[in-house]
């Protein structure tokens, strides 16, 4: 049972931590304290306002420390979707603003991304393309590695390219992308482009899935922008955007205009309680991420071994085992092979397991298999049977035993139905 669950669901085991995580008890406490003690407007000079401002400053420091940045590089947002949209909006604006004189025209800004990005990157790009405001290339991932390979991304770059956006780890397969190498190569390319009078290529990574499950260091990654999503690491449902020197070293253009909060990059009276909660969640990650990672990897590996032992190796197809690729410590994407065992049907027969067939944001799409799995080269009938199980900080081997038992009864029931 996941922490903070309804007693009616006490015998359920939640294994959908890539979709969302319950707020840690310390996070709930930080939110509650800020709500009762720091309710003032952070822009006001009286005690409750000053207290709110202190909470926000302290949270900014904690979030910055978590990703290896400086406090002034952190802009609080409503979540990952806003942060991703802000980066895309900025890159297009910067492309036009950088032209030497108003009469110059480099043409239409071009953005390179991968074929397996979250919808909050893919859809804004598709919308800009539809409106004729940008061009975009969605680089297919390698079917051998499941990764957006650096050479393939670089090959898609044009003279008008202004942004490369590649996620740090995929939410469905767990595959970790080569963002550090990509940043290094783009940085070298930018030095040549400047000499040729071409626009600078900015580098963005959506780190939603990686934070709290592995090392995230912006200096090591070398990115200009990094998206942070609270509810993926036991924090509240807000987010932040890391920008390497916002408005100075790296451009940042607001999408909203108002009272000047967040140095006018993201105006609106700050959501002090949620920001305090995000700060506390970040502190927990900074202090414990290696312990979290080791525990989740142990439980995930046990799950995969238990599945093979229970169903037989021939019947389990691992959809996230790619040669030479690392993956998130907590993620297992697999299919139980056989007719009538579509992921959705298997889950509907489970009495204990709470999980998903893929990204939670797309859970209404019927039995069509995940486009992400298809683009990784998983055959259609195998992808249809996919289940994505993602373990959490408190998941135990006992939970895994219950889940595998539950899957076995669900499959036995569906096999029986199929035989009739």
Say if residues 407 and 304 touch (Cβ distance below 8 Å). no
**DSSP characters for 91-125?**
HHHHHHHTSSSTT----S-EEEEETT--HHHHHHH
Q: Which residue has the tokens 């998903």?
A: 356
Integer Cα distance of 207 and 249 in angstroms: 21
Integer Cα distance of 409 and 405 in angstroms: 6
Integer Cα distance of 182 and 159 in angstroms: 17
Say if residues 224 and 200 touch (Cβ distance below 8 Å). no
- For residue 129, count CB atoms less than 10 angstroms from its CB and return exposed for 0-12, middle for 13-18, buried for 19 or more: middle
> Which residues are registered as beta bridge partners of 163?
111, 202
Helix 272-311, helix 397-419: angle, nearest 10? 60
Integer Cα distance of 205 and 84 in angstroms: 9
Say if residues 391 and 300 touch (Cβ distance below 8 Å). yes
Q: Is 300 left (phi over 0), alpha (psi -120 to 50) or beta?
A: alpha
- Catalytic positions are 361
Beta-sheet strands, E only, within 301-344 = 316-318, 331-336
**DSSP characters for 357-411?**
SS-GGGTTSTTPPPHHHHHTT--HHHHHTEEEEE--TT--HHHHHHHHHHHHHHH
For the chain, the distance separating the N- and C-terminal CA atoms, rounded to the nearest angstrom, is: 35
């Amino acid at each position: 049972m996941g922490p903070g669950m309804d007693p009616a669901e006490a015998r359920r085991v939640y294994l959908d931590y890539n979709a969302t995580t319950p707020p840690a008890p310390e996070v709930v406490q930080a939110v509650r304290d800020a709500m009762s003690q720091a309710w003032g407007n952070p822009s006001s000079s009286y005690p409750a306002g000053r207290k709110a401002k202190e909470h926000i400053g302290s949270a900014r420091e904690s979030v910055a420390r978590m990703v290896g940045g400086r406090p002034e590089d952190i802009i609080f947002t409503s979540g990952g979707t806003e942060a991703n949209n802000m980066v895309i909006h900025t890159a297009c604006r910067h492309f036009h603003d950088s032209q030497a004189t108003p009469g110059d025209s480099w043409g239409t800004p071009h953005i390179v991304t991968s074929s397996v990005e979250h919808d909050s990157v893919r859809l804004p790009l598709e919308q800009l393309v539809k409106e004729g405001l940008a061009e975009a290339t969605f680089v297919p991932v390698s079917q051998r590695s499941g990764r957006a390979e650096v050479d393939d991304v670089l090959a898609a770059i044009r003279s008008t390219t202004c942004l490369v956006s590649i996620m740090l780890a995929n939410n469905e397969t767990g595959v970790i992308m080569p963002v550090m190498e990509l940043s290094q190569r783009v940085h070298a390319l930018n030095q040549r482009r400047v000499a040729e009078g071409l626009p600078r290529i900015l580098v963005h990574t959506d780190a939603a899935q990686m934070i709290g499950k592995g090392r995230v260091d912006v200096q090591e990654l070398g990115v200009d922008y990094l998206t942070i999503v609270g509810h993926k690491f036991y924090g509240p449902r807000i987010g932040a955007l890391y920008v390497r020197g916002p408005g100075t070293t790296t451009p940042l253009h607001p999408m909203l205009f108002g009272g000047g909060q967040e140095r006018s990059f993201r105006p609106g009276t700050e959501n002090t309680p949620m920001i305090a909660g995000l700060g506390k969640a970040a502190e927990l990650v900074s202090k414990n991420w290696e312990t979290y990672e080791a525990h989740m990897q142990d439980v995930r590996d046990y799950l995969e071994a238990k599945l093979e032992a229970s169903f037989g190796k021939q019947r389990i197809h691992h959809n996230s085992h790619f040669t030479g690729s690392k993956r998130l410590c907590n993620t297992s994407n697999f299919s139980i092979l056989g007719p009538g065992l579509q992921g959705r049907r298997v889950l509907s027969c489970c009495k204990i397991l709470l999980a998903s067939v893929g990204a939670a944001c797309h859970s209404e799409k019927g039995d069509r298999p995940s486009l992400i799995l298809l683009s990784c080269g998983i055959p259609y009938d195998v992808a249809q049977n996919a289940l994505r199980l993602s373990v959490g900080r408190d998941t135990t081997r006992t939970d895994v035993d219950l889940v595998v038992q539950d899957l076995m009864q669900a499959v036995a029931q569906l096999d029986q139905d199929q035989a009739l």
